[in-house]
Amino acid sequence: MNNMNPKVSVIILNWNGWEDTIECLESLNQITYPNYDIVLIDNDSKDDSIEKIIDYCQGKIKPKSKFFSYSSNNKPIEIFDYSNVETEENTGRFTKKYHQLPHNKRLILIRNNKNYGFAEGNNIGIRFALDMFSPEYILLLNNDTVVEPNFLSEMVKTGEMDNKIAIIGPKTYLYNFNDHDDVVWSVGGNINLSRYPGYHDIELENIKLINKNSLLEVDWISGAVMLIKTKMLPKKFLNSDFFFGCEDVDLCINMEERGFKMVTNLKSEVWHKAGVSKSKAKFRGISREIKTNLKFMKNHEKHYKLHLPIYFLQIIYRYSSMLIKKLSRDIKNSIV
């Protein structure tokens, strides 16, 4: 272990989103933190994600971004390619060449044989990383994010401050496709059982006041960017009962019940294309979201059972409003 720079395994999940993924990878390969490994899991994409990611690693595709300038210094990037079956059955097929390469010139690629969802898709990468690298930290990083060069150094610094800190998050901005990139998307969240679904982002009206401090203790941190101390991970990692959504809040509640803390470092900065993954599921994702939230509430029944009647009313109101808006748009578009 490098005491100054503990080993971090970065877990990125791709599903039909290679353009976002290579922009994320390029920003990640330009960070200042010197001790990390990247494990990229493809969740059985049906587009040409694998081929495009390979082209990027070979320097054939140069991602453009307003947040960085493309660098050819670390190309080509050597890919170490596994199927998820191989990762579960055989972790010995690892070459010395991997460890001889700089951190930004190597990439682990795991090809899943089906779409395991967000939680289990990440769990496959976590299990592999723990077996192969024994990292002190696991970083879950959405493929639709772009990171600032010092983001990981700042988060690790926070984690090393206090043995009770289990999960660290950054200040996450909304990735806009215009000139306004200072809109804060998330700094973590709090639990409020009076409103469905019980977990909510911290209200950002007073973000200027929040910015006066570098650290913010919260109830939960978004799984879009989540740095986790591996020694505090539960045995089953992310709860795979949740196909997409709630797994981050569930993990944080688990940590809090065991006496650990969640902290946001506001000096660590990331940009997130919020809603990209959910938009791929289109409107049928709403029913999945409802089922996931209800399953989450059932898992934490002792906290929620007194609030169930009002939750059902809020669910009906929230999603019927969404349905009405969608139908109105469809009718309007059909007339036009």
CA-nearest of 171, 178, 235 to 208 is 171
Cα dihedral sign for 253, 255, 260, 263?
Answer: negative
Four-CA torsion 214, 220, 225, 226, nearest 10 degrees: 90
pTM (2 decimals)?
Answer: 0.85
* Residue 2 placed within a domain: no
Tally of domains in the chain: 1
* Residue 198 placed within a domain: yes
DSSP state at residue 136? S
Measured distance CA(215)–CA(231) in Å, rounded:
22
Q: Is the peptide bond before 6 cis (omega within 30 degrees of 0)?
A: no
Residue-wise pLDDT tens digits, 100-148: 999 999 999 999 999 998 999 999 999 999 999 999 999 999 999 999 9
Contact 134, 5 (CB under 8 A): no
Residue-wise pLDDT tens digits, 179-228: 667 888 999 988 766 665 556 667 655 555 455 568 999 999 999 999 99
CA distance to 204, 221, 229, per residue, from 189 (Å): 10, 6, 19
Which domain does 192 fall in, by range? 8-335
Name which of 34-38, 221-225, 299-303 the model is least confident about.
299-303
**CATH code for the domain in which residue 232 is found:** 3.90.550.10
pLDDT at 120: 92
Contact 120, 148 (CB under 8 A): no
* Residue 132 placed within a domain: yes
Mean pLDDT taken over the chain:
85
* Residue 45 placed within a domain: yes
* Residue 23 placed within a domain: yes
- In this prediction, residue 258 has a pLDDT band, given cuts at 50, 70 and 90, of very high
